[in-house]
Every structure is written in structure tokens, then in C-alpha cells.
Amino acid sequence: MSMATLLADWQDNGNVSVSRIENFIFGVSFLLLSQLPRQLAHADSLEFLTVDNFEPLTAESFAKIKADYKGKPFLLSLWSIDCAPCRLELELLGEQKKKDASFPLVLISADSLEQRETAFYILEEYSLDGLTSWMFADNFSERLRYSIDPNWYGELPRSYLFDASHAAFAHSGVLTQQQLASFVETLSQ
């Protein structure tokens, strides 16, 4: 949010009689203070959680993830702590990762980041806690789902096999051994 936007918004509000100078002071103070909670919140979370590798997934994150894998294939697996079949897929992926540490795997949990502790213990069970993975940054799940795939209705597990050009094969339900095996085969080509 830029200073100009802030000021413009206040001035648009006809009910309020604050001078431009006052507005400016409010704005500067607000912008300075608005940086504070991030630091504090971060320090706060470190107190009760040891170490995990979760990043918040915002509406912009998936585009960044794809950019990081530019020209490279990867497997995207969407899961949640509330989804029993997801455990089968995590188990399969955990084994694959053990076989090949460089296997290009992107895990996104459709749970909000507040549940990171639970999610961490689940991933730990399948030795998937070591890699960076993502959790929904807020509870506006429609928007976050849409940012990954407008055609995903929220069913889990959901996976996407992206080739090097990022054309994707989408699959709802637990990924089968065969689907994973044929994807692995394409990696070595």
C-alpha cells in the first residue's frame, strides 16, 4: 500500500475532517509501525515451534514456484491434515524422495498456516519434513485454490505432473504407483 493510496483513501472519505498534514503524520506513523508486528509475530512463533520448512502460500506464490522450476518438470501434490487418503499419497512420495533426494516435489497443504505444527508432524512421519513446502496463508481458500488451478474444486489429494514446458496432467485422488513411475521415467529422459 503506497502512501499516495493511503492519503487518497482518507481524502475520499467526506465525513472526516482531518487536514492533509494530519493525514501525512498518521500515514508515516502507520507505515513505520506496520513493520513492527511482522518482526514481533515472527519472534513469537519461534518460541513455541522449533523448526519447520513451511512457507505461506499466497495468491502469488504458485506463479513464483513455477518460475523457480522454469524449464524443469516437477510434481505438485496438494494435501491437508484432514484428508485420510492424502496419507497414502504422502507415503508414496516419501518413499520416492528417499530413493531419489533430487526428485522435484512441491507439497502444498490446503490447511492454514496456523496448523503448521500438526502439518509438520504429519510430514515428519513420511520423512517429508526436510523439504520446503507451502501451507495456505489465510482462510480465503477459494482464492488460493484458484491461484493454483481455477479448475480444482478443492478435492484432496490432488496432484499435477508438470513437464518441462509446464504442461500439466492433473489427477484427483491418490496418485497411483504407475502414474508416479511413468513420471519418474520422463525425468530421466
Residues in contact with other proteins by CB under 8 A are 1, 6, 9-10, 12-13, 16, 18, 23, 26-27, 29-30, 33-34, 36-38, 40-41, 44, 80-86, 118, 121-122, 138-143, 145-146, 150-158, 172-174
Q: By C-beta, is 106 or 110 nearer to other proteins? A: 110
Nearest of 137, 68, 78, 82 to residue 107 by alpha carbon: 78
Rounded-to-integer distance, Cα 136 and Cα 153, Å: 15
Interhelix angle for 84-99 vs 177-187, to 10°? 30
Which residue, 73 or 145, is less far from other proteins as judged by CB? 145
| CA–CA dist 112, 109 (Å, integer) | 8
* Complex with other proteins: residue 1 or 49, whichever CB lies closer: 1
Measured from the CB atom, the residue of 13 and 189 that comes closer to other proteins is 13
**How far, in Å, are 53, 60, 134, 172, 187 from residue 164 at the CA level?**
25, 21, 21, 21, 9
Nearest distance, CB of residue 38 and other proteins, angstroms: 7
Q: Closest distance between other proteins and the C-beta of residue 40, in Å?
A: 4
CA angle 31, 32, 36 (to 5 degrees): 110
Name the minimum Å distance from CB 83 to other proteins: 5
